[in-house]
Structure 1
């Protein structure tokens, strides 16, 4: 017999409880304004150590060690690498399984499944402009791929862009990168061209609208730049890399060259994203347009403690209809097999007592 007892109601708080054989359901709102939100919304930050939501903004989180994991819609990030100043790392126990598993696999994960420390991964950058150069594995020559992209600038204008030349490259950087672009609704007009020097560790911010290199005081919150060049990395001012609307569409994947692009498609653009061990935690149904969990078990190493967790659901029932962005997950310290913790992204705290 199982008995549920509502202990308390909080607004984005988590009750820290350690009860043997108890299930704790917590509330974290990961809806971020809804599926069609146009205004920017913060992640919801959570601390395993405190079993509590950390009430900070995205800007504050960039300098905070108080949180371990954060949720925004279906995105899950850890406090480490490109996502935060910490050293929180993740590992997917069931990474070899593309299909969904039974959720009982969570109980099977023990200390014996702990991988080597180097197997844990920090969050890294997944850039939308990731095919602008080519590497020949036989000759070891690096050259411009000529792959053309449609772009959206930081302020939402349309553009097209291509890298034409790479000169003076080395092991750590691409040397001088030459590129062409057009900004506007009519992409058939004569293009502009420029080159940037990223040798010797140089970092360059570039504004496609003015055709100039810029030096923003606060790049993360500035709309003065569209492209950021460093080493072999080109980032867009949007998504995980900036506060703007910049994004890219890989026109070359449709067989289009730079010259073939004469008008913007206007849809399907991809911003820079964070690559996390949680990036593929769900399946997407193309017919129903719904997400379902794969039930994989993840390990999260905070340096002080390793936790195992499993994402269980993405929806909450409101008036009989599912609402997206309410992530349910369960977790517990890997060293402690006596307590199971379940966290759910809505605004109540509930403990379920009972025997199996």
Structure 2
């Protein structure tokens, strides 16, 4: 009888042993690796000197010495009190530009935004009247308007906002917004997120900047660009060479002729030239609907459509001569060229290679632009030359314009 119960007992024991062995052989789940912390904090960077800019390189993670910030690409961002420059636009030769993510959560920003970036510009700052004056003083500053601090802004988007002392108090107040910004570096190959969190050092002296930054390895996919098909059927491409050696020459693309006009009042002109300055009948230059968009294309025939957005109207621009004098002109900032302009219609370049190619220091960049005429009709234009042969010499300020009107009107 005992033998009859021995086998079941052995089987139970064997099953128990086997079950335990299987459990023992199971591997424990490995803990997920902790993401590497790559963000760096810079504490109390000294930007307190009102007469000096402090230049910083994200690549080296250090303050850098810059002899000429306009011609150097070894800096990305610069600080002067609450003002900030980046190496792009009017401040430098780099490709730096900035966008406000509108987030204050540093960790939440994991990708660089696809659009919305802005380069440095010239900004007028208003201060206390100078001795003997009653009007506020005006100072022109080159800086990035997206990230720079503001003064008494009702909706501050820059990193800092100054507030007047409250009644009964002497000390001014400032607010640090703690927005996270994304900056394209000077060399254009990397993106950095940055959050500024401090303006005073351990001794409560102002002008000492604390910020955290980190490189972003991904960029958001751009949103689909809404485009408009351009119907050129029945309208052939035409060419005209204008004499822009004197005052403005106003030209009608529809009539194909120079038009004597009161430019601010009528719609009989579309585009105008004075040297390498260009105007369109819109914005500050006229009451028409004209505005311009530069395409990344130099083959005139290939342009058969245009983005719906991105056009820019004329505005007042300050130009500085080689002698340091200034002049103000209402121009198209898209089409107007000049020294070093690679996006305008005409560039001035003294290099031997450029002079050999174009016959002088002036030359067309050959971009194709889409413009809206005074009544809103789309047209494409391209400046193909800037010289006219007079006798044995080639004279500048004779822009040769290739253009074609479409049948498509903007909304």
TM-score, scaled to structure 1: 0.42
Q: Which has the larger radius of gyration?
A: 2
Structure number with the bigger relative contact order (C-alpha 8 A, sep ≥ 6) is 1
